[in-house]
């Protein structure tokens, strides 16, 4: 390949687009599939990060790069064991180093496929957890929405809650918001295969909310 050229704008090194396209698995619009880092290192599929930055470094930096890959592996693999229950022997087969041969690459792919084959059970467990989260979220929304309605209609805009209780409500609201954002990303990353069920599962239960709202409002209004 030709020597990369620097651009006048940011000083980065770039190759002509056509040369990189030639690395694809096909040469037509129907078969074109560009190679990404996950093709050479299948383990990266288990730890997706759309905002990840990649560096292209000279061979002289090879030892430093290998050491950094090892640190990343040591940091990421325990997450699979602790939070997803993936067996240690399956995680131990993962490599973050580029393969030297097609055989090594195929072995790395098989190691990842063994973990994905377990993901159906993991997803079912997470769906059960998400269902509990959704019901509790619905209950919390019912309480806060009814309180806001009563504050406006029965208390002339004055907050009916003790300041300490109000602080606890706001803290709970913020924690739930943070948990939903984190949970959504986590669930989305764990669904590489289509099993016929919606993914990610809903983190709120609208039907349950609609069922609870009238009952809670009637009880709270009776106590006003």
pTM for this model (two decimals): 0.47
Encode the chain in three state secondary structure. Answer: CCCCEECCCCCCEECCHHHHHCCCCCCCCCCCCCCCHHHHCHHHHHCCCCCCCCCCCCHHHHHHHHHHHHHHHHHHHHHHHHHHCCCHHHHHCCCCCCCCCHHHHHHHHHHHHHHHCCHHHHHHHHHHHHHHHHHHHHHHHHHHHHHHHHHHHCCCCCCCCCHHHHHHHHHHHHHHHHHHHHHHHHHHHCCCCCCCCCCCCCCCCHHHHHHHHHHHHHHHHHHC
Question: Could you give the number of structural domains in the chain?
Answer: 2
- Whether 105 and 151 share a structural domain: no
32 in any annotated domain? no
Domain boundary among 92, 116, 140: 116
**Residue 46 located in a structural domain:** yes
In a domain, residue 45? The reply is: yes
123 in the same domain as 110: no
185 token code pair: 């990303």
Q: Is the same domain home to 169 and 81?
A: no
Q: Is 166 part of any domain?
A: yes
Whether residue 70 is found in the same domain as residue 144? no
The angle formed by the CA atoms of residues 193, 198 and 202, to the nearest 5 degrees, is 130
Q: 206-223 and 119-153 helices cross at what angle (nearest 10)?
A: 30
Q: Which two tokens stand for residue 83?
A: 């939070």
Same domain, 141 and 98: no
Choose the final residue of a domain: 116, 144, 171: 116
If asked whether residues 216 and 139 sit together in one domain, one would say: yes
Q: Is residue 29 part of a domain?
A: no
Q: What pLDDT digit, counting tens, does each position of 29-88 carry?
A: 555 555 567 777 888 777 765 556 677 788 888 898 889 888 888 887 887 777 666 777
Q: Has residue 30 been placed in a domain?
A: no
Q: Are residues 214 and 126 in the same domain?
A: yes
- The residue with tokens 């000279």 is 58
One digit per residue, pLDDT tens: the chain, 224 residues? 556 566 655 556 555 555 555 555 455 555 555 556 777 788 877 776 555 667 778 888 889 888 988 888 888 788 777 766 677 778 888 888 888 888 888 888 888 877 776 666 667 777 888 888 899 999 999 999 999 999 998 889 999 889 999 999 999 998 888 888 777 666 655 555 556 677 777 888 899 999 999 998 888 888 76
Look up the domain containing 159 and give its range: 119-223
- Pick from 116, 146, 179: which residue ends a domain? 116
């Amino acid at each position: 390949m030709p020597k990369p050229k620097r651009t006048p704008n940011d000083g980065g090194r770039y190759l002509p687009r056509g040369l990189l396209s030639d690395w694809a698995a096909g040469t037509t619009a129907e078969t074109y599939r560009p190679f990404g880092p996950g093709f050479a290192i299948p383990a990266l599929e288990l730890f997706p990060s759309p905002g990840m930055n990649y560096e292209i470094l000279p061979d002289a930096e090879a030892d430093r790069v290998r050491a950094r890959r090892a640190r990343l592996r040591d940091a990421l693999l325990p997450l699979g064991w602790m939070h997803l229950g993936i067996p240690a022997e399956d995680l131990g087969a993962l490599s973050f180093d580029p393969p030297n041969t097609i055989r090594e690459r195929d072995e790395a792919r098989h190691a990842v496929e063994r973990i994905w084959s377990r993901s159906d059970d993991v997803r079912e467990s997470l769906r059960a957890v998400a269902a509990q989260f959704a019901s509790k979220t619905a209950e919390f929304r019912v309480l806060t929405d009814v309180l806001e309605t009563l504050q406006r209609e029965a208390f002339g805009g004055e907050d009916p809650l003790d300041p300490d209780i109000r602080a606890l409500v706001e803290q709970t609201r913020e924690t739930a918001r943070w948990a939903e954002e984190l949970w959504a990303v986590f669930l989305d990353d764990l669904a590489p295969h289509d099993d016929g069920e919606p993914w990610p599962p809903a983190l709120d239960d609208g039907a349950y909310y609609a069922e609870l709202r009238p009952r809670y409002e009637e009880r709270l209004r009776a106590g006003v």
